[in-house]
Structure 1
Amino acid sequence: MTAYDNGHSWLVAGAKIALPLAALALLSTLFLLAERVDPTAAIPYARINVEELAREQRVTAPQFAGMTEDGAALSITAETARPDPDGGPGASAAKLLAHMETAGGLVADLFSLSGRIDPSAGRVILSDGVRIETSTGYLLTTQRLEARTDRSEMVAPGPVQAQSPLGKIEAGSMTLMSNDGGVTHQLVFKDGVKLIYLPEK
């Protein structure tokens, strides 16, 4: 048996027993006072419907960019895109943004709440609140716009309202196209065109 001949030795020997016991007491207190975790409680920032994700395939923030045959740079982005449930080509998309810069310097920005992208067919269809703004001072709204991805051409088959440098324009349809290989473009309004001329002050 070990003999302790001074107070310091007794203190060290006592610390070797007391300190581990104190540590165990502290750990026990932590476990007893800690809040119980409810495994059934939902994490507020992880509310994900797993079944919906598995059932509906979709792509977040898809992007398409390319060059048309007549030299226009075209880029398209969307908030989400879903493939055709029947296995057809293309995909439906929500909140589309398109940007086109032609070889002749014309710039057009397009927006719609929904649409369809089909690069294999060389077209993009914008629908539901379509808005087009051009660098030539035109601001157009319509419900449907068909744009080509292989050439700088856009067609609005239905009614169009426009704010232009000349004034307000209403028409039954509209076409933006080029006849000289993309150098210049014509914005043609058709089918019952009405112009309210507003001269500059």
Structure 2
Amino acid sequence: MATTTNFHSQLVGWLKILLPLAALMLLSTLFLFARNTGTTNEIPFADIDAAAAEQRIAAPRFSGLTSTGDTLQISAEAARPDTDGGSQVTIDRPRLSLDATDGTTLRVTAGSGMVDTVAQTAQLSGLARLETSSGYVMETKGLQADLATGTVTSDGALEVQAPFGQLQAGQVTFQAGTGDTGQQMNFTNGVKLLYTPSTAAPKDD
């Protein structure tokens, strides 16, 4: 009788161990078959090769100082180096910022662009929008930037919203301010000005 009772106790003890292990193995098998359904989400090898060959850089940023000590920075959504191994880098949705030593700033956004790392120049194309800390907002079809000097020149005509009214010009050249001179904008090639006088009421003495 004691032998039967001891055997029963040992059997119950082993079953407490073996049954959970068997259930765990069964669940593992079910998960394995559920994953192998015959439909795959794998990326084709051709797509992998194309992505590797494109050499696309996400969110690049170029920054440095101009010859007068101004801080110049160019960022973009993406950049692609020259496939021929040259010095040109194509950039998408570029943003240029120029912070001069005298505190004035220039902000530029455009649709696309090209940076030449050897010539230290940038070409921003598409609709380019310029905003200055002095209150000027301009739109043009493209512009050139000399990264060494911080000089920005529009490719053609532009519309300007100025603090005193509206301007139209064939070209503008922007130069950041220095310790001796402030921010300079030179409008050329047929400048037209529509002056809007201030509507603020004069103050009583």
Shorter-chain TM range is 0.7 to 0.9
Corresponding residue of 1:26: 23
Q: CA offsets per residue over residues 37-94 of structure 1, 9 Å max, x none?
A: 1364227xx8993122122112111111111111211111111111122332120100
User: In structure 2, what residue type is equivalent to 1:10?
Assistant: F
For residues 61 and 122 of structure 1, the distance between their equivalents in structure 2, rounded to whole angstroms, comes to 20
- Residues 1:151 and 1:93: Cα distance change in structure 2 (over 3 Å): same
Secondary structure of the residue aligned to 1:150 is coil
For residues 182 and 90 of structure 1, the distance between their equivalents in structure 2, rounded to whole angstroms, comes to 35
- Residues 1:105 and 1:25: Cα distance change in structure 2 (over 3 Å): closer
Q: Is the 8 A contact 2:104 2:177 kept in 1?
A: no
- Residues 1:67 and 1:183: Cα distance change in structure 2 (over 3 Å): farther
- Residues 1:95 and 1:23: Cα distance change in structure 2 (over 3 Å): same
Corresponding residue of 1:59: 57
Q: Is the 8 A contact 1:152 1:182 kept in 2?
A: no
Secondary structure of the residue aligned to 1:192 is coil
- Which of 90, 93, 96 is residue 92 of structure 1 equivalent to? 90
2:11 matched to 1:14? yes
- Residues 1:112 and 1:15: Cα distance change in structure 2 (over 3 Å): same
Q: 1:127-142 residue pairs with structure 2 within 5 A?
A: 127-142=125-140
Q: Is the 8 A contact 1:110 1:132 kept in 2?
A: yes
User: In structure 2, what residue type is equivalent to 1:41?
Assistant: T
Compute the displacement of 1:185 (Å).
Answer: 2.9
Secondary structure of the residue aligned to 1:115 is strand
Moved more, 97-106 or 23-32: 23-32
Q: Is the 8 A contact 1:176 1:188 kept in 2?
A: yes
Identity %: 31
- TM-score where L is the length of structure 1: 0.84
User: In structure 2, what residue type is equivalent to 1:109?
Assistant: R
- Which of 107, 110, 114 is residue 109 of structure 1 equivalent to? 107
Compute the displacement of 1:31 (Å).
Answer: 4.4
Secondary structure of the residue aligned to 2:109 is strand
Secondary structure of the residue aligned to 1:121 is coil
Unaligned runs of 5+ in 1: none
The CA RMSD measured in Å over matched residues stands at 2.7
For residues 72 and 47 of structure 1, the distance between their equivalents in structure 2, rounded to whole angstroms, comes to 48
Corresponding residue of 2:41: 42
- TM-score where L is the length of structure 2: 0.83
